[in-house]
Amino acid sequence: MPQPSARTALVTGASSGIGRAVTAVLVERGHRVVGTSRKPETITDPVPGVEYVALDLADEASVKACAEHVGAVDVLVNNAGESQSGPFEELPGAAVERLFRINVFGAVRLTQLVLPGMRERGYGRVVMVGSMLASFPLAYRSSYVASKAAVKGFANALRREVAPYGVGVSTVEPGSINTGISERRTQYLREDSPFRGEYRTMLSALDTNESRGISAERVAGTVLRAIEAPTPRPLYAVGSNAPVVFALRRLFPRSLMLRIVARKHGL
């Protein structure tokens, strides 16, 4: 089917960071852009030309209402998510479940709701915004790592199902990003935790790496590449010397790469 010059793009988590940067670049491309936020009325610096709608990914009724409100979607960028850290032993079950509802199940359900229309129209792009931690796991980030690995797994398996219908599915894995996410990360650490010292060391290094990280705009540029590619790749990585570290991962044992990641974070 011929591709229209302007499409409808739905970007979750659009009030700040990567989501805001993605909406801005898509508006510049002339698309109709819908951005989501849990509380759109609180957005103080909206991107001109973006329509904001409410979406709570932890609430399936909210996900369905959002999809119905937006209507036909040509491009879906699953960006919204929560960052979580803490010793594995000390992560509350309810917190881990909430993380997966937001980072995984909400994104999966929203994708399920917009895919039939993409398939019927013969065109679509789905981009999962993940994290390089899914490829290079880090201690004390187990729940977050697992959630990002899960969305990448869904995306990788989905690609073949929808490719014959003109729908491309990709994961974008950013490395360290300077978006202020350190201030919004949920943390779980007992006062008497035996892991307290090492956890604090990891967290300090993580915050430092993120403060020196790439901009949200650079990640948005990579998301745009995935959207506009005639045949999108399964994975796009950006930041944290991605080309080098992924090359090293192919050359060296996984155990060595895990030690390198740990050392980079003071462990």
Question: Which residues are annotated as catalytic?
Answer: 144
Q: Which of 119, 35, 109, 42 is nearest to 77 (CA)?
A: 35
Q: Which secondary-structure segment (H or E) carries 8?
A: strand 8-11
H-state helical runs in 38-191: 60-70, 93-100, 106-121, 142-162
Distance of alpha carbon 176 from alpha carbon 157, whole angstroms: 26
Amino acid residing at 143: S
Distance of alpha carbon 132 from alpha carbon 206, whole angstroms: 13
Distance of alpha carbon 14 from alpha carbon 34, whole angstroms: 9
